[in-house]
Each structure stands twice: as C-alpha cells, then as structure tokens.
Amino acid sequence: MISLQQLTKRYGAQTAVDSLTFEIPAGQIVGFLGPNGAGKSTTLKMLTGMVTPSAGTATVCGFDLLREPLEVKRHVGFVPDSGAVFESLTGLEYLEMVAALYAIPRDSALLRIRQFISFFDLSFETLTDKLLGAYSKGMRRKVVITAALLHNPPVVFFDEPLDGLDANAAVGFKALIQTLAREGKTIVYSSHILDVVERVCDRVIIIDKGRLLLDGRPDELVATHQSGTLEKLFTQLTGGAEMERRAEDFAKTFRP
Amino acid sequence: MNPPPDAKPPVLNPALSPEKTLRRLFLTLFLRGRSSRGLRKEATPKSVGSKLALTLVVYAAFGLIALAFHGQPVFVLSVYLHSMTLVFLGMFVASSAGEVLFNKEEADILMHRPVTARALLWAKIGVLVQVSLWLAGAFNLAGLLVGTFSAEGGWLFPMAHALSTVLAALFCTGSVVLVYQLCLRWFGRERLDGLMTTMQVLVSVVVVIGGQVVPRLLFRPGGTPKFSSDSWWVALLPPAWFAGLDDAIAGRGTGSSWLLAAAGLIATATVMWLAFGKLARDYETGLQALGETVSRRSPRGTRRRWLDVLVSVPPLSWWLRDSVSRGSFVLTTAYMMRDRDVKLRLYPGLAPMLMLPFVLLFQNRGQSAGAPAGAFDGFGLAFAGGYLGMIPLLALSIVKFSQQWQAADIFRIAPIAGPAALCHGARRAVLLFLAVPAWIIFGLVAWFLPGERSHLPLMLPGIIALPIYAMAPCLGGNAVPLSMPSEEAKSAGRGIAMIGVMLVSVVISGLATWAWSGGWFWWFVLAETILVAGLYTGMRASLASARWDSVD
C-alpha cells in the first residue's frame, strides 16, 4: 500500500531524511517512531505530498508521489501534529469545506459529519455556533481527525493524534483505528507515547537522524533486544538511556 | 413505506467545485480574520456584513474629495482618482497579500488535500482582486458622478472608468504578488519568511510615502494640475496610464491618451502574465517552504544578540534597572524588529506620520521663500516637534496587540502586582528605537536647511511634552506589550487619541511660535517643563497603582 525507495530530503547541507526504504501492506497499523528532529514529520509530509523529496521515490496506493501527487492526496488522510484549523470558521463550515475539496456531495458529507459527531460525543450546536478558535484543544483534535477520515481514505497518517484528547476519546480512537485496520485501511501512527504504540501497532519503524534504525513487530523487537518494553528499547537505541539518571541529578539542583 | 414505482432516486446536493470552495474559504477567512482564538462569543466576527459596509462607507466618504474636481478635464479627474485608488489598493494588497498568500498554518491544513498550488494561488488572487474592486468601487463612486456630469465625460465615462479601475486593481494586485514571486525566486525559500515581512513592510511604506508625495508632484495647492496628457513625464506614472484610458474613451481621445491607455494595458497584461502565469510555479515552492521546518545553525555561533548586550551596558542598564521593565523592553524591541504581524502594523502606520513633518518643513519653505519674517515663522518646525510625539502614542497602541497574545498570560502568572513595569519597558523601547531616531533625523534635516537652524529651539516644547505623550497610552496599564489579540485592534479609539494629540501639538506649537516672536520663549519652555514634570509625576503614580484586571 505504501512503498518508499531511498526516500531522501535535504535542506542545503543538512539531511533530514536519509534514504528511507520500507513497505507497508494494507491493513497494518505501523508505529512510526523517532526522537525529536529524527525526520518523522518530514517523512509524513513527503508521503502526503506536502513536501517534495530531494531524492528517491515513494508510491501510495500504487500512485507515484512525484508523478501523481493529486491522486496520492485523494487516497490519504492526514492528522498533522500541529492540529491546525482555520480558527475563524465554525466546525461545520470547516468540515464542509474539507468535504468539498474531496468532491463529497454536501448531503453525504453532512450525514458523515453527523456520524463523527455522534462518535466523538460532540454537539451539533457547538459545531454550527462556535468558531473553531473557541474550541478546546481536544474538541479541535476531534474535528481534525474527522477531517482526515471524512473522505474514507485507504491510507491514514496520524502525527500525535491523541494530543489533547480526553481518556474516553483516546480509548475510542484507539479502538477505531484498530477496527479500521482490520477493515483493510493502512494506518501510520507517529507518536511519542510508546506504551500506546506498543499496544496498538502491529509493527514499529524507528528512525533517528533521518535513518532507519529498526523495523519489526513490537513484541519481537522487545524480545530480541531483551529490553522489556518498547520504551526502554527506544531509549537504548536513541541515546535516551541516560535520561533517568540525568533527571535525578537535575532534580537535586532544586533543593533549597 | 416503499417509494412509488415512478419515484426518481434522491438527487444529492452536489459539492461545490474545489475552486469555488477555495474562493469562498479565502474570502471568509479574509473577512473574519485568520484567528479568533479566545475571542468572546459575542465578539466573534461572525457577521462581517456591517464591518464591510462600514469600510466601504469610509472609502466612499474619502471619495467625496473628487467633488472638488468638478469642472476639471477628464484626464485630470482620472489621474487623481487612479492615484488615490492605487494608493488605497496598494496599501490594502501589500498589507494583506503576505498573510493571504503565505500563511504558515495553512500548509498543514490544505497542502495534503487534493488541490494544486495553482488553484490555491488563483483562489487567493481572486479574493484579493474581488475585495480590491469593492474598495475601489466605493472610493470611485463620487468620482464617477463627477465625470459623468462633466462637460467632457458624459455617459461614456462610467464605463470607461469602471474598465480602467478593474485594470488598475489587477495591475496593483499583480504587482504586489510579482514582487513576492521575484523575491522568492531571487533570494530562495530558506529566507522566505523574513523576506516576506521585510518586503511587505517596504511595499506598504513606499505606497504610503508615494501617496503623500505623488499628489504634491501632480497638483498645486487648491487642486490645479501641473500636467496634461501631453506632459512626457506623466507617462512614467501608472495612474496616468489608466487615466489615459478614461481620456481616450470618454475624454479628449487624443493620440497621447491612447498611447497612455496602451501603456496601461500592456503593463497590466505583462504583470498578470509574470505573476500568475510564468512565476506561479515558484508559489508552490514557497508554500512548501512554509511547511518545512529545518533548524539552521546560527552564523553568530555563541555570540550574544546585540539587544542583550545593549541592555546590559550603561546607559541602558541604568535606565532599565528594574528587571521586569528590562524584560518588557527586550520583548517589545524584539517584536518591533522581528515579528511579522507587529512590523506590518507598526511601520506602515508610522510612515505617513513621519512624512507629514517633512512635508510641512519643505512646504513652509516653499511658501515663505523671499517673504519677510513674520510672527509665525518656524511654526512648521514647532508643530513637527509636537507632532512627532505621536510616534510613541501610536507605537504603544500597536505593540500591545499580537497574534501570540496568549503567551502574555505569563505576566499575570508571574509575581508582579500590576502592569506598570511592563508598560514602562514598552514605553522606553518605542521612545528609544522609534521616537528618538525620528527626532534626530528630523533635527538633522532642519539643521542643514538654510534658514531653519536658528528656529531649531522651537522643537523643544514638543520634545519636552514627549514623556506625557508616551505615558498617556500606558494609563490604567493599557500598554502591556503583546497582551491583546490582533483581531481586537481597533483604530477608531486610536484615531480619536491622535486627533487629540494633534490639537495639543497645534496649541503648543502656536504658543511656542508666539513666545518666540514675542521674546519670552525660554520662559515658556520653563513653564512647560514645570507643568510637564507635575503631570508626568501624577501619571506615573496613577500607573504605579494600576492592578491587573480580572480575565473573564
């Protein structure tokens, strides 16, 4: 469903993503992990057609990223980590605008939006009366997730999707993406909340400094590296193992 | 219940085309403003009709000045109308285009949707042109009537002028977009954000200054023109091209008018082709650049920024002993120098204010050349001294608004009893970096102008009143920097304050000039100093007692 071949992004002399190569079949939930600045968001932005690769290529749903960017965009949904929305639109105006960009007839869009509202426990009045700028962070995130799934894309990229969601909504969301994957959708899930990734994802890909470090099933990777948890494995790989000791030392500096 | 056998399947309400959707989106965003975060529900700009109508009424009211051109030839009337239209539209497009064309958050919302960069560009341009035409239409309303009922114009004038106004709007929008595209191509996307801000400020300032200078070049006081369509130098001015079209169709229809009209058509077509056709590919690059984040190593290395150094050494370290004032000073200065939103409101706002004293100085010289010394010699210089006092007033009323206003919660969280120290920091920043340089430049110009040097002390009363001008907007703790949303920036209250300052300046400069000619100027200065000291002390005490109001 997704195939990367030596995908690279350079900014001048700096390489943000360095020759990434992997494939993701349909129906898989893939945790895409890496420390800050590892190149995760840049990779997701390349795969959604937002950023042009410097070298290499990728296909999404069989469409070439460079030659058929609009087809790629029609077949993917994306929840960016910024959670950006047009704040001076109401929730409904925003979602209707997104639906129109995918040429979804207005009646179908409204029906679908009502289904999402019901799922996320939002009120239709809130969606029609309030501007998005007045929404709480969690409500906005729900609108962004709705906007990513509204056109029923076969591939969905999530960048920190749980940010701002309350516990109930987070549980519902995790169940939703697992069910969507069983129905055949491909989910790429980028997050720093590793215990969630460990529980939800069929596979994890860990990158650092733009390069692929590990790729495999979470339980197998944890067992192979004898790390106990995915979090410990991640910190071992990305130089965070010292963090706990450093935190303890630093906390001591707060003593009066 | 089953449907009747001949019932047709329900017809789905079709989606708007992506192009129409984008146009509607950008128009809504433009009219409502990009951000409404935290605005009170009743204050949310849901209905934009009244706001827009008010703007159009103001433009139409400005347009009434065209009534003064009744009886003038079509070309003269049209040059005036197109000059002012280009100034208004230039200011509007220059101040809006950067935000409309290159919005950072928009990349995350739209760039992964199935729309092309060209479709985005065209939708945005469409909105800019559409709003430009509304404004131009409102401004030209009175001029249309004047032209229609003039001896030369007649019924052809409205059609000709409508056509030339559309061309002028396209030319203006295209030119501003072209400037951005060229910058993008020449200077590269890495420096796009900073470059956009600088260009936007420069274009706005140039348009504002042009709006002050060009009418003075074209018309004598009283509105008598210094030109006709046969004047060769007129062909260098874009308003004359579009006025040429009016003159060719509805006026004299001379060869020179047709030539000017042709120049207007060719210039507009060229600008449109370059901005929306040839260089449109660069736009996609620019949009992508906004979506990309890359940390570049600072060429400075570990050197401290000049601002940090400046505030830590005398005399500034003495002036900014209080750490809160110093922090506020650094914050205000940084935003005046670096923040796109603040810069775009601040410098174009200050530009006409800085121009007027110079205009007064030179105009006064032109009129008094060879005239005997009178009781009000030097009034222009005295007035300029007071008028420049508006700089801190205007600047403080601008820097208190920001798109990052929520970050100002830190001031309330910090153990600071009230906003006084923060206001002092902001006040000192605008005084040091805006008011003082303006005075020095103006003083130097006056110093080198023959005959003005002896009148320079007349600027003193304005300078002495400066602490009052700068303290006034701080009263009640109203000048906490960057603490209010940009969308709430209202110019009406500021306008009234400006008129007040102007009246005070007229009174002070009138008294100063009278005292100068009467030989008691220095007594006047002494009295003013004592009065200002008393007022300043009272205002300072009042500000010190101000406390944070409740955030509801």
Per-residue pLDDT reduced to its tens digit, A69-78: 889 999 999 9
Q: Does B294 touch chain A (CB under 8 A)?
A: yes
- Residue B197 pLDDT: 65
CA atoms within 13 A on the CB side of B9: 2
Percent helix, strand and coil across chain B, each to the nearest 5 = 75, 0, 25
Which residue stretches of B302-419 are H helix? 306-312, 316-319, 323-338, 340-368, 379-387, 390-399, 409-413
Q: What are phi and psi of B24, to 5 degrees?
A: -65, -40
CB distance A88–B32 less than 8 Å? Answer: yes
Edge-to-edge order in the sheet of strand A186-190: A76-79, A155-159, A186-190, A29-33, A203-208, A211-216
Q: Which residue from A14, A99, A133 is facing B37, i.e. has the nearest CB?
A: A133
Which residue in B has a C-alpha nearest to residue A100's C-alpha? B15
Which is nearest to A8 in space by CA: A53, A38, A68? A53
- Residue A84 pLDDT: 86
Q: Distance, in angstroms, between A107 CA and closest chain B CA?
A: 6
Which residue in B has a C-alpha nearest to residue A52's C-alpha? B288
B224 C-beta neighbours (distance < 10 Å), count: 9
B-proximal residues of A, 75-114, CB under 8 Å: 76, 78, 80, 82, 84-89, 93, 97-109
**Number of A:B CB contacts under 8 A?**
128
Lowest mean per-residue pLDDT among A70-84, A111-125, A234-248, B156-170: A234-248
CB distance A14–B116 less than 8 Å? Answer: no
Judge whether B47 and B144 are in contact, CB under 8 Å: no
> What does the CA dihedral B243, B247, B248, B251 come to, rounded to 10 degrees?
170
Q: Which residues of chain B have pLDDT under 70?
A: 1-15, 33-51, 187-197, 199-201, 203-205, 207-208, 211-230, 279, 289-304, 352, 362-377, 487, 489-496, 550-552
Q: Does B18 touch chain A (CB under 8 A)?
A: yes
CB distance B288–A109 less than 8 Å? Answer: no
Q: Distance, in angstroms, between B34 CA and closest chain A CA?
A: 6
Q: Which residue from A86, A87, A100 is facing B15, i.e. has the nearest CB?
A: A100
Q: Does B321 touch chain A (CB under 8 A)?
A: no
Q: Does B299 touch chain A (CB under 8 A)?
A: no
Q: Distance, in angstroms, between A143 CA and closest chain B CA?
A: 12
Judge whether B424 and B377 are in contact, CB under 8 Å: no
- Residue B299 pLDDT: 52
Q: Distance, in angstroms, between B235 CA and closest chain A CA?
A: 44
Listed in order, strand segments (DSSP E) in chain A are: 2-11, 14-24, 29-33, 55-60, 63-64, 76-79, 155-159, 186-190, 203-208, 211-216
> What does the CA dihedral B447, B450, B451, B456 come to, rounded to 10 degrees?
-10
Q: Distance, in angstroms, between A147 CA and closest chain B CA?
A: 10
- Residue B370 pLDDT: 46
**The two three-digit tokens of residue B268, written as one number:** 């507009």
Chain A interface, mutation test: which of B26, B37, B47, B108, most A Cβ atoms within 10 Å? B108
**The two three-digit tokens of residue B401, written as one number:** 């608004």
**The two three-digit tokens of residue B428, written as one number:** 């000192």
Whether ipTM exceeds 0.90:
no
Residue B478, classed as helix, strand or coil, is: coil
Which residue stretches of A102-242 are H helix? 106-119, 124-129, 137-149, 167-182, 194-200, 218-225, 230-237
What is the rounded distance in angstroms from the CA atom of residue A229 to the CA atom of residue A68? 40
Q: Which residue from B105, B113, B288 is facing A82, i.e. has the nearest CB?
A: B105
Burial of residue B193 (number of CB atoms within 10 Å: 0-12, 13-18, 19+)? middle
Cis check for the bond before B461: say yes or no (omega within 30 of 0). no
**The two three-digit tokens of residue A250, written as one number:** 């630093």
B-proximal residues of A, 127-166, CB under 8 Å: 130-134
The β-bridge relationship of strands A55-60 and A63-64 is antiparallel
- Residue B6 pLDDT: 46
Q: Which residue from A45, A49, A88 is facing B36, i.e. has the nearest CB?
A: A88
- Residue B369 pLDDT: 45
The β-bridge relationship of strands A203-208 and A29-33 is parallel
Q: Distance, in angstroms, between B109 CA and closest chain A CA?
A: 6
Judge whether B39 and A134 are in contact, CB under 8 Å: yes
Q: What are phi and psi of A135, to 5 degrees?
A: -75, 155
A-proximal residues of B, 80-109, CB under 8 Å: 105-109
Residue A254, classed as helix, strand or coil, is: coil
Query: What are the chain B neighbours of A35 within 8 Å (beta carbons)?
Result: none
Name residues whose C-beta falls within 8 Å of residue A148's C-beta, 6 or more positions apart in sequence.
A77, A78, A79, A156, A158
Q: Does B25 touch chain A (CB under 8 A)?
A: yes
Average pLDDT over residues A143-157: 93
- Residue B416 pLDDT: 84
B453 C-beta neighbours (distance < 10 Å), count: 10
Query: What are the chain A neighbours of B294 within 8 Å (beta carbons)?
Result: 11-12, 14, 16
Better pLDDT: B412 or A44: A44
Judge whether B223 and B198 are in contact, CB under 8 Å: no
Q: Does A11 touch chain B (CB under 8 A)?
A: yes
- Residue B200 pLDDT: 66
Chain B interface, mutation test: which of A87, A92, A111, A149, most B Cβ atoms within 10 Å? A87
Which residue is it, tokens 């932005």? A45
